[in-house]
Amino acid sequence: MVSKSRKVWMLGLVFILVLLTACGSAGSNDNQANGSNTSAEGQQEQNDSNTNEPVSEEELTSEVNIYTARHYDVDAELYAQFTEETGIQVNVIEGKAPELIERLKREGESSPADLFITVDGGILHTAKAEGVLQPVVSDVVDAQVPAELRDTDSHWIGLSTRARVIAYAKDRVNPEELSTYEDLASDKWKGRLLVRSSSNLYNQSLMASLIALNGEEATEQWAAGIAANLARDPEGGDRDQAKAIVAGVGDVAIMNTYYVGHMSVSDDAEEVKVAEQIGVFFPNQDSTGTHVNISGAGLTKHAPNKAAAVKLIEYLTAKEAQEKFSSVNFEYPVNPDAEWPELLQSWGTFNKQSVDFAAYSEYNPKTVEISNKVGWK
Amino acid sequence: MNDVIMKDLTYRYSAKEAPVIDDYSLTIKQGEVVGIVGASGSGKSTLLRLIAGLEMPEQGSITIDNRVVVDSHTFIHAEDRGVGLVFQDYALFPHLTVAQNIVFGLNQLKRAERRERLVEMLDLVQLGGYAKRYPHELSGGQQQRVALARALAPKPSILLMDEPFSNLDADLKAGIRQELQDILHKAQITCLLVSHDQQDIEAICSRAVNMNTPVMV
Amino acid sequence: MHLAAITRNFKRHMNGWLAVSMLGAAGILLPILYVLLSLFTKPNDNWEQVKQYLLLDYIQGTLMVAGMTAVLAAILGVGLAWLVTAYRFPFRGFFRWALILPLAMPPYIAAYTYKTMTSYTGIIQATLRNHLGITVPPGMIEVMSMRGAVFILTLCLFPYVFLITRTFLERQSSAYIDNARLLGRKGIGLFFQVVVPIARPAIIAGVMLVIFEAISDYGVVSYFGVQTVSTAIFQIWFGMYDVDSALRLAAWLMIIVIGIFLIERWLRRNRQFHSLTQQAKPLVPRSLSRWKAVFACTVCSLVLLLSFIVPVAQIAVWSVWTSHKVWDSNFVELTLNTMKGALLATLIIIIFATVAARVCRYASNSFSYGMSRVMTAGYATPGAVIAVGVLAVFISLDNSLSSFYGWMGQGEGALILSLSLGMLITGYVIRFMATGYNAMEAGYEKLSKSYTEAARTLGRGHFAAFFKIELPLIRGALFSGFVLAFVEIIKELPLTLLLRPFNFNTLATRAYTYAIDERIYEAALPSLLLIMLSLVSVLTIHLIGKRDTQ
């Protein structure tokens, strides 16, 4: 009898669970059948409870909601300034880009998010491909950001760029020895090269750009050469490669520009010393150009505060905000009118790769496959 | 009649095992002190737990004071049965004093009545000076008497005692047996006690039942 | 069975307690089931690829990390617990509680602290180079590896074993150990032949916590580049954008965890020692000869230095370097947010854990056992995976409540629940229910069932039995369960990142924001505050323990 009563309980629990899940799925079907712009209106009513009249989509709302994978203090400062100047409240959820895309997808048309901000052109393209973005229509933005730093359909707008360059030991390497990414795979650099893990997105996007330029086969050979030339198994981040150069582990490293900038103003005197002892070289100047990556903002497909969101993009790509990005974070501005900070000026201008950022996401799986194949950890 | 009637009780610990109590019947008349003897594992304690409402039989019924407390479609919870149980380990609440332990079951009474009943119980078990003590400050025999007083305080229809002497020193046993007999007599309570020791039962009980070979009454 | 009999059985088992625990179980089960159900969807090509090339390596990695950490934490925890309970040596009283302090250190913070300290610009190499003129050969000090991850996890997790074993030895073991000494056992023989066997339940309980923490760890292993199942889940998700396969892998991880639970139950099957010596007197420590005392003191100091003092001191120095630009008034809000989320979640955990532990104690059948295990399965699951389950359930709840929101004037299709703090709290509760539950289960195991039965035969119901009798007697377990869960939650990161509402930052997310960008020095201040907050909590465990023994 005890066992029978146990079964009764089991059944009871299963029943409750089935009921609850049934409610959930029934509800989601309902929602799909509903009109598509209800969410926007609902959100606005919630935001602005004083006005009972329906608000048109283009009207400026009093807040803008951001899902961001950029975690820089300078971003928060710029949002605060934007609020001060426009009275539009900026709400933020920070997270990792794939998690945020997943959240956007699951929230669907109910999503409160207006902007999706992240680093890496590949991810921006993925967001577009996943169907969570819509075009930004703004003459101001078009004037401030060159077309090559925007999505072809303006689903996302670039905010800043960084170059992936070769850092070298000033005391051991003559910059004239350096030339291209391709050259780093040659025997000349055997046991002298440092780079972080191939699982890192910066490396994957670099490799993807090379696939776009040189083809798959050549890039596989290149990756094999890189793996063979490594002075040690990949470890740590970009800064750690710079430190390893100075420590004498290797002579050259592939790293992002702004890390050198950050180290040069570090609170740790030891890091400043490291930054002083390494040089920055922009490769492929005579051929395909230096690899750059981009961080950008995408307008979400069901943005409830579309007008405010576009206004924020306009604000962030304007000269003033761009100069701030650049001076605090050592990123390159996307707005050609913005002045570069001293450090970036000292490195000079350079030729950039002309590869569509979409290729970064398109070839990403290939890069993983190649790395596994050639044994670049 | 205000008897306790057990009819055709069957109980097993789990569906796979043989029943530890199999089709057992027993009637205890009001005022009787019945002792159950049996080897350990013979289901003596389980019988007490069935009567108290701490376990449910697979089959059979129990009637206390003309009220069916369990049968195939009734189950009255332990707290509503009006049965007193003295546990083998006494189960005195360690964080409560002797007085607090005894009045624990008297929450329905008014404060004054509760006091009165407490004094009455302390007198009955001759622990007048111990009201403020905590259980761990008492000897084993004293603890047993507190447990007895606590079980008797709410005036149960029947008192159940599980191995009342197992935790006591042998040389104290005779004295305590006598005390217990006096208390039960004074309280005029129907009582069912189980023990593995035939002598205990003979000394206290008006009737003895062997659990291993159920006797129909 | 007759309807009458069914109603009778229903009445027999039904009470508020069971109802509440079933409700809690249902709430916790939904997201977990969501993850587990992915096992029944059709696997895609990615999954085949993962299964074929990577799965074995990842499982091997997880087993290595969890296994090595468990063994080392057991050695450290049991050894130190025995040292401070059985012997008298300088500062023994201090080490007795100080060795639980590493619990306040989130492993991922310890990881980046150690990594930065041992790097070329870190204090160790910089001091050798600048003051002594010694250049350390590259690669000599190496933490970025499997060994490093095990080192960090061991130092941060051994206090679980230490705390549980020490408490057991102090309160329960004197009779056995005194006896064994009378029989001529001493030193190593006593330790291995008597202490370890009798403390087995406590040791296993502690080691289980360590194993689950190690399995679910993502921060340390991913930072050190060690491949485990939990890093694989994220590689599949972030690298291949394949959430379904990631969830499938997570589901397998959950199954493994439930398997380990069952093994644990089997290992602890004969743990009835405690009831034999209820009024046990404390173990009296013995004096050590001078050199042995110095040795004992040195061992304890070394462990404490490495696991707590050195990293905290380093973080404090970095905090000073960067406080001028990192510190702002937001920190008050960050601290309050951290505490608000943690307190609410802990409260809910303790209520459900107590109710469920009570139900399991008094209706000990395999159904209630199974229910309690599923409720606690979240513990060894990486936070982000639970987050996906919670997110899915909340969004579908919001969708099904859509018309209700419309009626309330909130607008149809609005996301109310999934933008509330409730979602994060739910995530915390699922993830850390086990911490609270284990404490309450242990509390109830020590409590004789007959107390409650006595209360009930005296005419008082479950309610009075609980509040008047059980609650005062399990108070200690309740407090330590509360504090342990609280500390876990304020250290939690991935769940917080994904489930928090707009503008909700905690100390952990702030630290993460800097650390992810390789700005370790800036991450130091929020880390330090976080450690201080959990330090206060950990110290209260100590104070509670002290009051309990008095």
Phi, psi of C83 (to 5 degrees): -60, -50
Mean per-residue pLDDT for A291-310? 93
CB contact under 8 A, C120 and A31: no
Residue C275 included in any domain: no
In a domain, A27, yes or no: no
Chain-chain contact of B89 with C448 (C-beta, under 8 angstroms): yes
In a domain, C449, yes or no: no
Is C113 part of any domain?
Answer: yes
pLDDT of residue A29: 35
pLDDT of B145 over the 80 cut:
yes
Q: Would you state the structure tokens that stand for residue A268, as one six-digit string?
A: 């740790």
Enumerate residues 12 to 31 of chain A having a beta carbon within 8 A of any beta carbon in chain B: none
A contacts of C115 (beta carbons < 8 Å) = 236
H/E element, C245:
helix C243-267
Residue B214 has pLDDT above 50, yes or no: no
How far does the CA of residue C21 sit from the closest CA of chain B (Å)? 20
| C106, C491 Cβ separation under 8 angstroms | yes
Residues of C in contact with A16 (CB under 8 A): 22, 26
Same domain, A139 and A170: no
Partner residues linked to A116 by β-bridges:
A67, A298
Predicted pLDDT at A57: 46
Question: Domain limits at C114?
Answer: 43-269+283-309
Select the residue of A4, A23, A92 nearest C400 (Cβ to Cβ): A23
Judge whether C139 lies within some domain. yes
Interface test with C, best of A55, A79, A102 (most C CBs within 10 A): A102
What is the per-residue pLDDT for A41? 38
Q: pLDDT category, A267, cuts 50, 70, 90? A: confident
Domain assignment present for residue A14? The answer is no
Would you call A1 an interface residue with chain B, using a CB distance cutoff of 8 Å?
Answer: yes
Q: What is the mean pLDDT of residues A81-95?
A: 91
Record: contact A1-B58, CB cut-off 8 A: yes
Mutate to test the interface with A, among C395, C418, C525 (most CBs of A within 10 A): C395
Q: How far apart are CA C372 and CA B153, in angstroms?
A: 38
More confident residue, C5 or B154: B154
Question: With 80 as the cut, is the pLDDT of residue A168 above it?
Answer: yes
Find the mean pLDDT for residues B18-33. Answer: 88
Residue A235 has pLDDT above 70, yes or no: yes
> Do A244 and A129 reside in the same domain of the chain?
no
Task: Please state the domain count of chain A.
Answer: 2
Contact list in A for residue B15 (CB cut-off 8 A) is 2-3
Chain A residue with the nearest C-alpha to that of C319? A267
Q: Does C182 touch chain B (CB under 8 A)?
A: no
Q: Say which of B84, B91, B95 has its CB closest to residue C448.
A: B91
Q: Cβ of B58 under 8 Å from any chain A Cβ?
A: yes
Partner A, chain C 32-51, Cβ-Cβ below 8 Å: 33
Q: How many CB pairs under 8 A join A and B?
A: 8
Nearest 10 degrees: Cα torsion A214, A220, A225, A227: 130
Q: Do C505 and A109 touch (CB under 8 A)?
A: no
CA of A250, closest CA in chain C: separation in Å?
Answer: 10
Residue B107 to residue C460, Cβ atoms within 8 A: yes
Task: Say if residue A172 is in the same domain as residue A284.
Answer: yes
CB atoms B82 and C5 under 8 Å: no
Number of H helices, E strands in chain C: 30, 2
Neighbours of A134 (CB within 10 A): 17
d(CA B213, CA B26): 12
Across the interface, whether the CB atoms of B54 and C469 are under 8 A apart is answered no
Question: Is the pLDDT assigned to residue A274 strictly greater than 70?
Answer: yes
Residues within 8 A of A (CB atoms), C 133-172 only:
135, 138-139, 144
Closest CA to B91 of C453, A19, C223, C548: C453
Same domain, A268 and A177: yes
- CB-CB under 8 Å, C2 with B93: no
Closest to C78 measured CA to CA, from C207, C261, C189, C174: C207
Give residue C441's pLDDT: 84
Q: Is B14 near chain A, with CB under 8 Å?
A: yes
Predicted local confidence at residue A81, as pLDDT? 93
Q: Are C454 and B108 within 8 A, CB to CB?
A: no
Let me know whether A97 and A213 are in one domain. no
Q: Say how many CB pairs under 8 Å bridge B and C.
A: 81
Residues A126 and A261 in one domain: no
CB contact under 8 A, C411 and A45: yes
State which residue of chain A sits closest to B72, comparing Cα positions: A1
Q: What CA–CA distance (Å, rounded) separates A309 from A297? A: 10
Smallest Cα distance from A2 to chain B, Å: 7
- Burial label, C192 (beta-carbon count in 10 A; 0-12, 13-18, 19+): exposed
The whole-number average pLDDT for the span B169-179 is 78
The first and second tokens of residue C81, run together, are 């617990």
Q: Do A3 and B14 touch (CB under 8 A)?
A: yes
Q: Does some domain include residue C213? A: yes
Cα C352 to Cα C519: distance, rounded to the nearest angstrom: 40
Give a yes or no: residue C174 inside a domain: yes
pLDDT above 70 as % of chain A: 85
Query: Does C7 lie at the interface with B, CB-CB under 8 angstroms?
Result: yes
Whether A13 is in a domain gets the answer: no
Sign of the Cα torsion B155, B156, B158, B163 reads: negative
**Is the CB of B104 less than 8 angstroms away from the CB of C5?**
no
Residue A50 lies in a domain: no
pLDDT for the residue numbered C67: 93
Does residue A174 sit within a domain?
yes
Is C4 contained in some domain? no
For chains A and C, CB pairs below 8 A equal 198
pLDDT in single tens digits along all 550 residues of chain C: 567 777 777 666 666 777 777 777 777 888 888 888 888 887 877 777 777 767 788 888 899 999 999 999 999 999 999 999 888 888 998 998 899 889 888 898 999 898 888 877 787 787 877 777 777 766 666 667 788 899 999 999 999 999 888 888 887 777 777 777 777 777 777 888 888 888 887 888 889 889 988 988 888 888 887 888 888 887 777 777 777 888 888 888 888 877 887 787 777 665 544 444 444 567 778 888 888 899 999 999 999 999 999 999 999 998 888 888 777 777 888 888 898 889 999 999 999 888 888 888 777 666 777 777 777 777 877 787 788 788 888 888 877 777 776 666 656 556 777 778 888 999 999 989 888 888 888 788 778 888 988 998 898 888 888 888 888 888 878 888 888 899 889 888 888 887 888 888 888 888 888 887 778 888 889 999 999 998 888 887 777 766 655 4
Task: Give me the pLDDT at residue A36, please.
Answer: 36
The tokens for C368 are: 């209630």
The domain tally of chain C equals 1
Answer yes or no: do B14 and A2 touch at CB < 8 A: yes
Residue A63 located in a structural domain: yes
| Residue A112 contacts residue C420 (beta carbons within 8 Å) | no
Residues A167 and A277 in one domain: yes
- End-to-end CA distance of chain B: give it in Å, rounded: 15
The reply to whether C304 falls in a domain is yes
Helix (H) or strand (E) holding B99: helix B98-102
Q: What pTM was estimated for this model as a whole?
A: 0.79
The string of pLDDT tens digits covering residues B63-97 is 998 899 998 888 888 888 889 999 988 889 988 99
- C471/chain B closest Cα distance in angstroms: 11
Query: Looking at the partner chain, which of C11, C455, C472 has a beta carbon nearest the beta carbon of B75?
Result: C11
Residue A53 binned pLDDT confidence (cut-offs 50, 70, 90): very low
Computed over its alpha carbons, how large is the radius of gyration of chain A?
25
In what order do the strands lie in the sheet containing B67-71? B21-28, B4-11, B59-64, B67-71, B74-75
Of C412, C393, C498, the C-alpha closest to A109 is: C412
Q: Tally the residues of chain A.
A: 377
Beta bridge partners of A333: A160
Q: Is residue A139 domain-shared with residue A230, that is, in the same domain? A: no
Residue of A nearest to C514 (CA): A71
Residue A235's contacts (CB-CB under 8 Å, 6 or more residues apart) are A196, A197, C144, C225
- Dump pLDDT digits (tens) for A54-69: 444 467 788 999 999 9
Q: State the residue range of the domain holding A222.
A: 162-291+352-374
Quick one: angle between helices C520-549 and C146-172, nearest 10? 10
Q: Give the ipTM.
A: 0.89
DSSP structural state of residue A188: G
Q: Which residue in C25, C413, C500 is closest to A31 by CB distance?
A: C413
- pLDDT surpasses 80 at A209: yes
Q: Which residues of C touch A99 (CB under 8 A)?
A: 237, 384, 387, 497-498
**Confidence class for position A52, pLDDT limits 50, 70, 90:** very low
Mutate to test the interface with C, among B13, B71, B73 (most CBs of C within 10 A): B73
CATH of the domain at C185: 1.10.3720.10
**Between chains, do A1 and B56 touch, taking CB under 8 Å as contact?**
yes
Tell me whether B56 touches chain C (CB under 8 Å).
yes
Residue of C nearest to A244 (CA): C120
Shortest distance between the Cα of B14 and any Cα of chain A, in A, equals 7
Q: Give pLDDT, residue A49.
A: 39
**DSSP collapsed to 3 states, A336-349:** CCCCCCHHHHHHCC
* C-beta of residue A91 within 8 angstroms of C-beta of residue A63: yes
Residue A368 above 90 pLDDT? no
* Contact check, Cβ <8 Å, A30/C399: yes
